[in-house]
């Protein structure tokens, strides 16, 4: 009876185990990935609790565990090996662990897919595989096999995928058109498509030809300054600074010239005032106690240009000569 009860405990539907669970929910993942080519190997890891004694792997819609494994030396994980991938191993998988306290929660679902079951479809893109950001493009996946659905996958870190029902037209291959509106740089990468039938959604065809999509930034979007751009900005800044410096020097030069001109005009004006005072009118006069018959008069003459040693400039000098004319000289 004890053996029977133990057996029933192992094959009970995981829902019962969840209700009695005391362990945290484990994590399930596949290496190298969950999309595996036919007849290649894959490892399924189940990461759980340090208290786990057993790890169970099962597929949805099945009451019996698919496989059971004991923990590795670290005791918080178990490994399930699949040496040759076949249709038998495809499906939606989950794992859970068991300890003396009970069962853990179920892990999240992982879809294990096998590729290579059918001939590959062809993939094309319109208008081009090299477009600018914001443009709408279309991928067309077509095949001579009448698949029920097609899936488009972006390889790489983003791992985007799109699934569409196939379209049938007379005398034309079965196809599906995937429209990507307003593409962005996150769509950069390699794209492939697969075909599959509705009753076997985890059994795909061989991959189509690959297409590398290159999305470049639009012209009106600001670009991140590069090293060349920074160097250009530095040159422009230096040129502006030099220009302002030259203008400042020119302004100082003009101010200095204006100051000198003003000072020179002021000096000339002072010199003219001095000359006007020296050019006073000389009147004739008759000194007392002299011969009343004599006439004293002043004769004004202009001299040649002479150089004033003080001002270093050539000036006109005017002088007066006093003369006495007697009566006899007048009569003669």
- Domain with residue 130: its CATH number is 2.60.40.10
Q: Which two tokens stand for residue 47?
A: 């990461």
244 assigned to some structural domain: no
Q: Which of 216, 244, 265 is the last residue of a domain?
A: 216
Do 126 and 208 lie in one domain? The reply is yes
Q: Are 80 and 46 in contact (CB under 8 A)?
A: yes
Q: Which residue has the higher pLDDT, 277 or 123?
A: 123
Q: Which two tokens stand for residue 84?
A: 């040759």
Q: Which of 115, 133, 163 is the last residue of a domain?
A: 115
Do 96 and 168 lie in one domain? The reply is no
282 assigned to some structural domain: no
Could you say which DSSP state residue 21 is in?
-
Residue 238 — φ and ψ, nearest 5°?
Answer: -65, -40
Cα–chain center distance at 105 = 44
317 assigned to some structural domain: no
Q: Are 204 and 113 in contact (CB under 8 A)?
A: yes
Do 62 and 144 lie in one domain? The reply is no
Do 195 and 134 lie in one domain? The reply is yes
236 assigned to some structural domain: no
The Cα-based distances of 282 to 42, 111, 140, 294, 299 in angstroms read 133, 130, 120, 18, 9
Domain membership of residue 101 as a residue range: 23-115
- The mean pLDDT of 94-106, rounded to a whole number, is 88
Q: Are 195 and 225 in contact (CB under 8 A)?
A: no
Range scoring the smallest mean pLDDT among 59-73, 135-149, 184-198, 202-216: 59-73
Domains held by the chain: number? 2
Do 69 and 125 lie in one domain? The reply is no
Q: For residue 285, is pLDDT > 90?
A: no
Do 134 and 190 lie in one domain? The reply is yes
pLDDT at residue 80, rounded to an integer: 93
Reported as type and span, the H/E element at residue 304 is: strand 295-308
Evaluate the omega torsion of the peptide bond into residue 125 and state whether it is cis, within 30 degrees of 0: no
Q: Which residue has the higher pLDDT, 126 or 101?
A: 126
- Whole-model pTM above 0.75? no
104 assigned to some structural domain: yes
Tell whether the torsion through CA atoms of 244, 249, 250 and 254 is positive or negative.
positive
Spatial separation of the C-alpha atoms in residues 272 and 306, rounded to whole Å: 16
Q: Which of 84, 115, 146 is the last residue of a domain?
A: 115
∠ CA 269-274-277 to the nearest 5 degrees?
130
């Amino acid at each position: 009876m004890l053996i029977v009860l133990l057996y029933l405990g192992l094959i009970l539907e995981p829902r019962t185990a969840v209700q009695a669970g005391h362990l945290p929910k484990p994590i399930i993942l596949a290496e190298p990935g969950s999309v595996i080519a036919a007849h290649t190997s894959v490892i399924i890891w189940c990461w759980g609790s340090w208290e786990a004694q057993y790890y169970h792997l099962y597929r949805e819609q099945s009451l019996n565990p698919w496989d059971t494994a004991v923990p590795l030396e670290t005791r918080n994980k178990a490994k399930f090996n699949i040496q040759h991938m076949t249709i038998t191993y495809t499906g939606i998988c989950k794992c859970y662990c068991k300890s003396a306290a009970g069962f853990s929660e179920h892990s999240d679902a992982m879809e294990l897919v096998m590729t290579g079951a059918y001939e590959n479809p062809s993939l094309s893109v319109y208008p081009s595989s090299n477009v600018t950001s914001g443009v709408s493009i279309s991928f067309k996946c077509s095949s001579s096999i009448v698949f029920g659905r097609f899936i488009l996958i972006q390889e790489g870190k983003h791992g985007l995928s799109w699934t569409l029902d196939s379209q049938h037209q007379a005398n034309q291959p079965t196809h599906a058109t995937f429209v990507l509106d307003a593409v962005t740089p996150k769509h950069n990468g390699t794209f492939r498509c697969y075909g599959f039938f509705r009753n076997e959604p985890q059994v795909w065809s061989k991959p189509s030809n690959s297409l590398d999509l290159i999305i470049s930034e639009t012209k009106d979007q600001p670009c991140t300054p590069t090293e060349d751009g920074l160097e250009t900005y530095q040159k422009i800044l230096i040129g502006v600074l030099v220009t302002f410096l030259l203008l400042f020097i020119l302004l100082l030069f003009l101010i200095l010239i204006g100051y000198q001109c003003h000072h020179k005009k002021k000096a000339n004006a002072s010199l003219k005032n001095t000359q006007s005072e020296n050019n006073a009118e000389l009147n004739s006069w008759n000194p007392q106690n002299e011969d009343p018959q004599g006439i004293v008069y002043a004769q004004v003459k202009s001299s040649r240009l002479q150089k004033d040693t003080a001002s270093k400039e050539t000036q006109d000098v005017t002088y007066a000569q006093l003369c006495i004319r007697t009566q006899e000289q007048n009569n003669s």
